[in-house]
């Protein structure tokens, strides 16, 4: 995460902070920065995002004008439902607006250089959201643009999803220190960001993947470095039953990510034993929740009886994408102080 020269310097606010100039305000460590990777965040940064998201979700009316006149642009090289709509609805309900650029027909940087695109965008908009294939497209844009850049998914990371997953787990379990998370399936971009965020917040995560399909070594190393501090732990195994045994949360994702469609048939054979079904879930703790970032390929990585069960929180995750991304936008644009005048200007009740 880099700091941009145009960052505003107004005070930020976490949960339960009163509009009192004499009261100490928490320092916004994210103002003007980019969100490219979980690796860019400290535990304090993640805590700030989560606290802000909890407040925004509980009292949305206090933020209805927080990003008035702010413009967000989204360049998406990949199809999207949740990511696009949660960013659009999120900034709209904060008083700003979103512009969507369909980049599925060509990659960013193909028509003109990434630097030229960035230097145009920084003159027009306040924040840039990218959903790309190459992670270097996101870090490149962040390096050139003087406004915050957000990774809405790349080939190796999905930080907004992972922050949402941690937020959802907090809603169900509270303090995540010592919580046991099992991730079953492909060691993909979702797995990379999740393992980093989980360890950073003190959870113990075990990933079960077929041999050769686990997380990239650099992400394992990064998580292990985090675990050297008072944080959580990471284990990588090949037996899904070992990972799920006694787990508080069981997470899976598609066996073939976007761009790997040509491997789908082969992967169905390789990952067959990694399906999250009733038998596998029965090995988890009785209170365990089931998680999936969606879209789900029902009958492949998960069965209907699991994803539609009372233990499933997949639609909580989908909803929470909006709340967490609202918090991210508020913090990057340094507008997280609640607008206590909103209640006087609107008849919509606060809560």
> Is 321 marked active-site?
yes
In a domain, 12, yes or no: no
From 64, 135, 158, 323, active-site residue: 158
Q: What is the pLDDT, as a whole number, of residue 1?
A: 53
DSSP labels for 162-202? HHHHHHHHHHHHS--TT-EEEEES---HHHHHHHHHHHHTT
Catalytic residue among 39, 160, 236, 293: 293
Instruction: Read off the tokens for 95.
Output: 């008083």
Domain ranges, residue 145: 38-157+320-341
Residue pair 319/167 in contact by the 8 Å Cβ criterion: no
Q: Answer yes or no: do 253 and 182 share one domain.
A: yes
Both 251 and 306 in one domain: the answer is yes
161 is catalytic: yes
Judged by DSSP in three states, 71 sits in strand
- Averaged in consecutive runs of 10 residues, what is the pLDDT profile of the chain (351 residues)? 44 36 70 97 96 97 97 97 98 98 94 97 98 98 98 98 98 96 98 97 97 97 82 95 98 85 86 98 98 97 98 98 98 88 41 31
Q: What CATH code is carried by the domain that includes residue 59?
A: 3.40.50.1370
Instruction: Give me the pLDDT at residue 69, please.
Output: 96
Q: Supply 213's token pair.
A: 């399909």
User: What does the pLDDT read at residue 265?
Assistant: 86
pTM above 0.75, yes or no: yes
pLDDT score for 21: 38
The one catalytic residue among 34, 253, 334, 339: 253
Q: Are 109 and 214 found together in one domain?
A: no
Instruction: Please indicate, yes or no, whether residues 139 and 272 belong to a single structural domain of this protein.
Output: no
Please answer whether residues 325 and 90 qualify as being in contact, where contact means their C-beta atoms are separated by less than 8 angstroms.
yes
What does the alpha-carbon distance between residue 226 and residue 220 come to, in Å, rounded to a whole number? 10
Whether residue 246 sits in one domain with residue 307: yes
CB 234 within 8 A of CB 220: yes
* Residue 108, both tokens: 């960013």
> In this predicted structure, what is the pLDDT of residue 256?
83
In the chain, the largest separation of any two C-alpha atoms, in whole Å, equals 63
131, 135, 192, 267: the catalytic one is 131
Show the tokens assigned to 81.
């439902």
Q: Do 81 and 112 lie in a common domain?
A: yes
């Amino acid at each position: 995460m880099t700091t941009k020269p145009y960052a505003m310097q107004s005070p930020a606010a976490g949960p339960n902070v009163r509009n009192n100039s004499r009261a100490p305000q928490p320092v916004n460590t994210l103002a003007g920065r980019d969100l490219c990777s979980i690796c860019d965040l400290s535990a304090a940064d993640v805590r700030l995002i989560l606290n802000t998201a909890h407040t925004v979700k509980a009292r949305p009316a206090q933020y209805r004008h927080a990003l008035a006149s702010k413009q967000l642009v989204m360049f998406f090289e990949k199809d999207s439902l949740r990511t696009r709509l949660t960013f659009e609805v999120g900034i709209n309900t904060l008083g700003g607006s979103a512009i969507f650029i369909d980049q599925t027909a060509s990659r960013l940087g193909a028509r003109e250089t990434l630097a030229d695109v960035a230097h145009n965008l920084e003159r027009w908009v306040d924040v840039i959201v990218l959903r790309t294939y190459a992670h270097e497209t996101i870090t490149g844009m962040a390096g050139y643009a003087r406004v915050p850049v957000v990774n809405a998914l790349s080939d190796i990371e999905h930080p907004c999803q992972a922050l949402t997953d941690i937020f959802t787990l907090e809603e169900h379990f509270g303090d995540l220190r010592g919580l046991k998370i099992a991730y079953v399936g492909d060691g993909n971009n979702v797995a990379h960001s999740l393992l980093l965020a989980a360890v950073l917040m003190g959870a113990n995560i075990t990933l079960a993947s077929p041999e050769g399909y686990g997380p990239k070594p650099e992400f394992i190393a990064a998580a292990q470095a985090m675990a050297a501090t008072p944080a959580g732990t990471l284990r990588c195994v090949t037996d899904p039953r070992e990972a799920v045994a006694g787990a508080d949360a069981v997470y899976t994702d598609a066996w073939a990510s976007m761009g790997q469609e040509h491997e789908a048939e082969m992967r169905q054979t390789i990952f067959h034993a990694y399906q999250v079904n009733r038998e596998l879930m029965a090995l988890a703790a009785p209170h365990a929740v089931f998680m999936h970032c969606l879209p789900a390929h029902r009958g492949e990585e998960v069965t209907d009886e699991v994803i539609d069960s009372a233990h499933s929180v997949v639609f909580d995750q989908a909803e929470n994408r909006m709340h967490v991304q609202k918090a991210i936008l508020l913090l990057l644009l340094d507008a997280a102080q609640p607008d206590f005048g909103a209640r006087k200007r609107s008849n919509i009740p606060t809560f």
